[in-house]
Structure 1
Amino acid sequence: MELSEMLFLGGFVVFIAAILLLDMFVIDKKAHEVSIREAGTWTAVWIALALLFSVFLWFHGDMVHGIENFSDLQAVASRYASHLKLNPDDFESSLQQYRHYMTVSYISGYLIEKTLSVDNLFVMMMIFTSFGVGKNEYQHVLNWGILGAIVLRFVFIFLGAAIISRFDWVLLVFGAVLVYSGVKMYLNRNKKEEMDVEKHPLVRLLSKTGRIHPQFEGDKFFIRRAGRLLFTPLFVTVLVIEFSDLIFAFDSIPAVFSVSLDPYVVFFSNIFAILGLRAMFFLLAAIADRFRYLKLGVCVLLVFIGVKMLIHEFFEIDAISSLVFIVSVLVVSIGASLVVKRQTV
């Protein structure tokens, strides 16, 4: 990792940390049940921030890698976008081409992560219901869940990038996993997901310690009884959500690598998608029944992305075509949900 990349990444992480701290300890300090209007407003705010970052990449994306001359550009492109035809006699045009490629890849990755997150949000709803978490505490749990998800994404993405750079055949494994996940999701699309809390492996592991407190204590994660530190059900809920996100990451991160091998672009798109998950959760919880075809769209996207990774050695689906397909799937699945009368999908 170059010094310029480390500095930019460090600045980005500080910026994101500042936003999260402001959100967690100032804006949403008081626990409350989030309304549809509030959720919609914050969803729009997070989307606007993500789009503003895409504007930055469009005009100044080279700052991420500290590109100052054609040699720098060629070195970066050879690692992450070897298919681009750069002109050594026109540095500015070549630089602009790479910036635009970064931007399109970022937007595609953002949309993929957002779309795939829908299935994870349904799992979160199931976890809250299974643990009997009060609606006033949803926000508190999701705050820490999202913070943990960001840390996991950082580790997974840069570790994944390092593995791919050494063993490019891993992309074929990722592709096969995504096709399998898409087909499996389609076959199980009408099954009602349920969770037996006591049989969850993480709960069983914590139960063996004898440190799980049997009831909620407001928004507290820990409580001390007879000199012993105990985990409240709220803390266990956070851990289970993190566990589910860990499993979800095995699909979502390889999917974003299908549109860009640049770990920074993958990381940025993931983080901006995750930041809006909490607001999206409350919005989706209220209108989930209206978008019954969205899960079918997720299945299609997983299969498409998996196939794209499997055939990349023989046929390259360019970034613009991928973005058009992703947007088309979203528009069709959402449009069908609003227009077609309810029936078994």
Structure 2
Amino acid sequence: MRTNKMCAVLGNIQRYNALLPLTNERPLATLPVACKYRMLDFPLSSIVNANVNTVFMIFNEGETQSVFDHIGGGKEWNLDGIHNRFFIHLYQDFLKLKAQNLEYYNELIGYLEKSKSEYTVYMSSKMLCSIDLRAVLNIHQANQNEMTVVYKKVQPDNVCATDAVLTIEENGKISEVFSAKEKGDTEDQMNLCMDIYIVQTDWLINELKAGQREGATVDLQDFLRKKIHTVKSSIYEYTGYLSNIFDIPSYYKASMDMLNSKRFNSLMYSSQKIYTKLKNEVPTYYSETSEVNNSQFATGSIVEGKVEDSVVSRGAIIEKDTEVLHSIIMPSAEIRSGASIQFAILDKNVVVDAGVKIAGTKEEPVVIPKGTHVTNHILEGQTQ
């Protein structure tokens, strides 16, 4: 009997040039959020909170190192056992099989068949949210349709041009599916498709088999979007916190949202627990010269200067007479005496020399790439 059992597919292949250079050496899925978390933690946590014990993940070639560094064996998400497991596959392998006219969805089909699950949930790592998938499953079961689509009403500035937007009738039926680029931003609110779907597993297996015979898209997310109109679909409106990450401003805004207690609590302390990689480190040290206001810190940092309205990850060093305002400081950054950082994102292992000033704007924060040693001033939204 397979009642209520779900398996999961996590898609992480979308690339956004507007997120460079932050995604030069990592996928969007491992971008840091709220000091010690990664974007991937949120869909993974939603999945394990729904008692799903197997996850099929799809990443781009060359982007898996940071994923393995973060997930390890999957212990924190209870995915390190015989029955609880995760699998990582490369999107480019699917593309190569299709180019050779071979059955490119067979690995995924095999996973779905072996899972013996009645339902499959698909999620991406682009939507920063905490969703109760059990509630979505209840709606799916009540409507007995092939697909249930999760959406949220959002402002146009929280939508990327390549996102899907839904037109929903008063009876709750989806009448149209547009790309946001086609829809434009003429409306006050849009029904953003969050690319979270629950489907019947047997139905998905049959559709994938038929799709690869017909040369359907290799991108499972796009594959499911195109099915919304062709099958009976239910809708689930998500009303919790959501940030849609697709460019530097959206990522910066989401990080700054974590300094707002209401938004932070909505994301982190709903009925859903958020799991992440554990590190046994000493607490952050605040010296007598430090001045800290409305900021978040992970463990292992040393703070001797002024930090205000900022998010600081693990192992950062902020020396005396420094000023860090409205900024995101990623792991192991070093800001030396007399430096000033405002409206900036400092990636991992960045060193800022003494007396150097970095200043962007709220709309266009300065981004300093991973491992950069900054020796000169960077001002007015310039990116080094």
Using the size of structure 2 for normalisation, the TM-score is 0.20
Using the size of structure 1 for normalisation, the TM-score is 0.22
Structure with the bigger percentage of helix: 1
Structure with the bigger percentage of strand: 2
